[in-house]
Structure 1
Amino acid sequence: MNIHATLAASLHCQQTASPDRWEATFRQMVLFDLAADMELGFFLSYYRNFAIPGIAAPLYTNAEIQQRPVKRSYDTAIVIYELIANGLDSDRGQAMVELLNRVHRNVPGSKDDFLYVLLTLLVVPIRWVQKHGWRQPTTAELAAASRFFIELGDRMNITSVPTSYADAEGFFDRYEAANVAPSAEGQHLMDATVQVFQSRLPVPLRPLAKRLISNMLDDDRLTSSLGLPRAGSISRAALKRGLELRNAITRRRSLKTQAHFTPGEAGSSLYPNGYSLDQIGPVNVPRSPVLAGNELP
């Protein structure tokens, strides 16, 4: 449970957090202080992989996303939130790391491809918060987030993970400049996944799902590669105004005392009664004994 009574108290703690408490600092950032924006950032990071032909091709060949887009999307989010909420070295955290390693064991790709996928989860949410969040991330939060993904990368045998957020951004931008391009596979994956975003929108807005994603990605080369409509200046301005209004309201509210994510708890139509860890992950990958017995008591 969050121990900070107010937004101001939590911000002070996040500003002065010890580097040794990097997991707690990142957890506070993701599950409480900047929860809504970090969740949306994780969501957007998922799409960016489809704009890299070398990554989109094996994802398309695997067919898990096309056949079970809702499960793949929710399970991807659950894995990262399980790691953040419980800690990388907790029993549940170790089970999720094992799942990640098993799922990616035979996936083709270069060292830089795997590093890019890891860093989308760091850079994309942080950049969204910096541009649209109700407050800026603190220096301690940037360091804690970077340390989290350095440690996760180490456990996944991903080498040469940048040691600072600035270096992570540098790699991310260089990789995208060299690799973002249209592909039929990437556009098929995007089309299959849009329905997940649509399901979270009010019914009148669902036909606008692709345009809304374009506005949030705010990158013409990326949206063109994904086969999405180009965002217009009016819709961009409307999104900006809507987020500014939301932020003004957020600053006047008390800090939530309930975490944004509770391990194993019901939270979607996919797992209406909650989930156990052995339910998470692709159905076409053999289950591992390490996942058995990791349900919440």
Structure 2
Amino acid sequence: MRTDRYRDLRHLARLDPDREYHAIYRATMLTEFPWQARLGLNLAFYQTYGIPRVAAILAGTGQITHHTRQRAKATGAVMFTLIEHGFDHPAGRAALRRLNRAHHALPATHNDHLFVLGATLLVPLRWISRYGWRDLTDVEIRAAHRFHTRLGHLMRLRDIPDSYASFGKWFDAYQTVHFAPTPEARQLMRASQRLLEDRVPRPLRPVMRRVGPALLDPPLRTAVGGGPVPRVTELGLHAALRAAALLQRTLRPRVRTISDTGHGLPPEPGDAARKP
């Protein structure tokens, strides 16, 4: 194992998660666990399909079902720009304004919006905890919660759970009460599944079609009509992801930035003079 693999981790351990939460969270998501974070944030967005009220709103706009690629790119651009630049950079302020405009235009409840915030915090970190090349530290978890707490406040959300653990309990309880299968959820998931299939070579698309539902947790799988997944598929996917984590642990890390992936958002005119 390469000893320099833990160099960044030692640096992060010396930072204060209450004051330097953005630097810690940025490193966790973009440097330490780049592909797990990207997949986890995609899975977090799919969580919105499980709430019938939100699924009906999203399906009603037609953006996901008819403009799937553009909507996915725009959503990813906003979140990754915030992670890359934080809330005080001009690009971050522009992304936050776009996020607030999009959310305030939707007739969802306050707790629905809080659930979405919880999904962006919890789903990627839970995925990293399962398939990361190392364990997350308490510093990284506290910084992630602090980052999302500030994001929630800037989105004018209230009653945000005061710790990662308490947010997890609230999130799971909300999912248990509100998740239900709907035609809209199935429609949204089919569109997202087609997009995932388009991103792999054509010969591999049947494999993606079979493996895709195994990426979803059971409550979401039920809500979007994914059906049962063969045990051998689950075991095969788990083994492949663990092997990828082991390979990642043996290699020197490469810093990932927004410029690597085309997710940067240009600042809007006047951003430097405006606050979100």
Same fold (TM over 0.5): yes
Mapped partners of 1:247, 1:76: distance in 2: 26
Aligned-pair CA distance for 1:195: 1.8
Aligned-pair CA distance for 1:117: 0.8
Q: Would you say the 8 A contact 1:83–1:96 is kept in 2?
A: yes
Please tell me whether residue 224 in structure 1 is matched to residue 235 in structure 2.
no
Please tell me whether residue 124 in structure 1 is matched to residue 134 in structure 2.
no
How many residues get paired?
A: 269
Aligned-pair CA distance for 1:42: 0.3
Look up the equivalent residue of 1:252 and give its one-letter code: T
Q: Would you say the 8 A contact 2:91–2:265 is kept in 1?
A: no
Please tell me whether residue 162 in structure 1 is matched to residue 161 in structure 2.
yes
Please tell me whether residue 102 in structure 1 is matched to residue 118 in structure 2.
no
Mapped partners of 2:74, 2:148: distance in 1: 19
Aligned partner of residue 18 in structure 1, secondary structure: coil
Listed one character per residue, the Cα deviations across residues 105-126 of structure 1 (whole Å, up to 9, x for unaligned) are 2311111101001110001001
Aligned partner of residue 10 in structure 2, secondary structure: helix
Q: Would you say the 8 A contact 2:64–2:188 is kept in 1?
A: yes
Normalising by structure 2, report the TM-score: 0.91
- Output aligned runs, 1:1-297, within 5 Å: 6-19=4-17, 20-219=19-218, 221-256=219-254, 258-262=255-259, 267=262, 277=266, 291-292=268-269
Q: Would you say the 8 A contact 1:51–1:226 is kept in 2?
A: yes
Aligned-pair CA distance for 1:15: 2.9
- The 1:276/1:208 distance shift into structure 2, 3 A limit, reads same
Mapped partners of 1:16, 1:136: distance in 2: 17
Aligned to 2:274: none
Q: Would you say the 8 A contact 1:45–1:125 is kept in 2?
A: yes
Q: Would you say the 8 A contact 1:26–1:141 is kept in 2?
A: yes
- The 1:266/1:131 distance shift into structure 2, 3 A limit, reads closer
Mapped partners of 2:225, 2:212: distance in 1: 11
Aligned-pair CA distance for 1:167: 1.0
Runs of 4+ in 1 over 3 A off after TM superposition: 274-278
Mapped partners of 1:201, 1:130: distance in 2: 26
Aligned-pair CA distance for 1:277: 3.6
- The 1:138/1:39 distance shift into structure 2, 3 A limit, reads same
Q: Would you say the 8 A contact 1:211–1:228 is kept in 2?
A: no
Listed one character per residue, the Cα deviations across residues 213-269 of structure 1 (whole Å, up to 9, x for unaligned) are 2211141x321210213221101111111122212211111121x32422xx664xx
Look up the equivalent residue of 2:127 and give its one-letter code: W
Mapped partners of 1:143, 1:12: distance in 2: 16
Higher helix share: 2
Listed one character per residue, the Cα deviations across residues 63-95 of structure 1 (whole Å, up to 9, x for unaligned) are 111121001111111111100111111111111
Aligned partner of residue 251 in structure 1, secondary structure: helix
Which consecutive unaligned segments of at least 5 residues does structure 2 have?
Answer: 272-276
Mapped partners of 2:171, 2:209: distance in 1: 24
Identity %: 29
Which consecutive unaligned segments of at least 5 residues does structure 1 have?
Answer: 268-273, 279-290
Mapped partners of 2:202, 2:118: distance in 1: 33
Aligned partner of residue 109 in structure 1, secondary structure: coil
Pairwise CA RMSD of aligned residues?
2.0
Mapped partners of 1:225, 1:209: distance in 2: 20
